[in-house]
Chains A and B, each alone.
Chain A
Amino acid sequence: MTSLLLSPLDARHRALDARMAPFGGWEMPIQYASVLEEHRACRERAVVFDVSHLGTVECRGTGAFDALQWALTNDLHRIEPGKAQYTHLLDAGDASVVDDIIVWWVEPERFFVMPNASNTSHVFDALGEADARADGEMQWQDITRGRVVLAVQGPEARALLNGVVPGAADVPRFAVAPVEWHGTGLVVAGTGYTGEDGVELHVDAPAAGELWDAIVAAGIQPAGLGARDTLRLEAGLPLHGHELGPGITPLQAALGWVVRWDKGEFRGRAPLEAERKRGVARLLRGLTTEGRQPPRAESRVQFEGVDVGEVTSGNFSPTLGYGIALAFLRPDVDPGESVMVDVRGRLLPATVVKPPFLRRR
């Protein structure tokens, strides 16, 4: 068994009595006191997550733009330096989503490519392939272990953060900006994974503890990955390993907008184009239940007595007060239809909906 990686903030999490758990090869805080309390704090006030388990691969050089443009499905021509973009890396053979990624375009020839915890090496390898195809030169480096990423999220996130890192609070949604803080250069992006307003801060590891302490002292409550999961589910956001992964294409995951067909060649284009022509065999939908009992991942879904798919993520929605889930269903099972979820042998009625469950406020 390989040992788990620890965040540079590990001692701080333990000092706060966080419950730690393995996540994507890292040991990270799942909760400090209560998932429900941390979830509500994010919807009503502001919380801070240590998301250092996300990878950061820094790509630099004259060839970086072209290499990323070939490797990833979204179109960097649609943004500019100082902006962030959600995108996918596809498998060249079957167009599976190898990873879903946020790209921070930090400077004209400098990008932070941010994969999920356990996928960093896959992304790193694909960048090598991309570099070989692009004109110009690219240097790419996994800088994950030398930095911390903090996600400050919630309706009061910017107001509270303004007292700590003034420039950070002003970074607009999906913008990226360098911000000086106590002599340390931060990179701040208006991104997140909760369905709330907020920013994410990239800070070099040696300064991360002090930044964390200042954020927490400003009244921004630490929240763990448990709340992050219930928050992203309410917002209808996919989690790699559940809604994305081997065998799952962006079209099946109802994320066709991430694929820009007009941009030219990209990794996995041919198999994805073939799927687009023949139509998807399954489609990601939302499910809601009447009561508190949630459908859970891997439960089968029935429609008119026939098996039509499987739940990929499900939980109680703390904000809505009922069960919500994402599920891959036969594509003709439309929103509004009534289905049954086989929850450990009992049939739980549910309604098919189009995510998100909760609109961004």
Chain B
Amino acid sequence: MNIPDDLRYSAEHEWVRADGANAVVGISDFAQDSLGDVVFVQLPDVGTMVEAGASCAEVESTKSVSDIYSPLTGRVVEVNHALDTTPELINQDPYGEGWIFKLELADPADVANLLDAAAYQAVIDA
């Protein structure tokens, strides 16, 4: 399972690429593999305020529907509309083209509360 060292993670299998006050969010390689073929993504609306831990998107595979929980508190400033027509990007490139939304963080210091790659690996192995 691919777990890049330069990202932060939630125990619910989202990843975060933080850059100052902004953060890109997606789901981990482990999550996409568990879900199977992604066929639809319900993206959050741009401008929405989301709380850390709150459901803000849905990813549907042929097997199931899964909530995506925002790993951090902030405002949605951009969503990946490429997923509207090619949701399989989440399977093909979960840490790149398969990103889901971007947040303007309420407090960039919150990023430190997320898991690093080693801690996330431990969550998967548990």
Contacts and interface: CB of A to CB of B under 8 A. Distances in A.
B37 A293 contact: no
Given A35-B36, A35-B37, A226-B36, A293 B63 contact: no
Contact of A294 (B37, B40, B87, B88): B40
Contacts of B124: none
Contacts of B58: 344
B60 interface: yes
Interface string A35-49: 111000000000000
Contact of A293 (B42, B61, B91): B42
A292 B40 contact: yes
A36 B62 contact: yes
A315 interface: yes
Nearest to B37: A36
A35 B60 CA distance: 13
A35 B62 contact: yes
Give the secondary structure class of A's interface: mixed
Interface in A336-361: 344
Contacts of B16: none
Interface residues of A, number: 19
Interface of A: 19, 30-31, 34-37, 226, 230, 291-294, 296, 315-316, 318, 323, 344
Given A34-B37, A294-B40, A315 B65 contact: no
Interface pairs A-B: 8 shortest CB-CB? A316-B39, A36-B37, A35-B62, A292-B40, A293-B40, A35-B37, A34-B37, A35-B36
Interface of B: 36-37, 39-40, 42, 58, 60-63, 65, 84, 87-88, 91
Given A292-B84, A316-B39, 16 more contacts: A30-B63, A31-B36, A34-B37, A35-B37, A35-B62, A36-B37, A36-B62, A230-B62, A292-B40, A293-B42, A315-B62, A316-B40, A316-B62, A318-B39, A318-B62, A344-B65
A183 B36 CA distance: 40
A231 B88 CA distance: 19
Contacts of B61: 35
Contacts of B42: 293
A182 B20 CA distance: 69
A145 to B, nearest CB: 28
Contacts of B87: 292
A333 B54 CA distance: 38
B39 A294 contact: yes
A35 B63 contact: yes
A316 to B, nearest CB: 4
Contacts of B60: 293-294, 316
A127 B88 CA distance: 48
Contact of A226 (B40, B62, B88): B62
A45 B39 CA distance: 22
Nearest to B58: A344
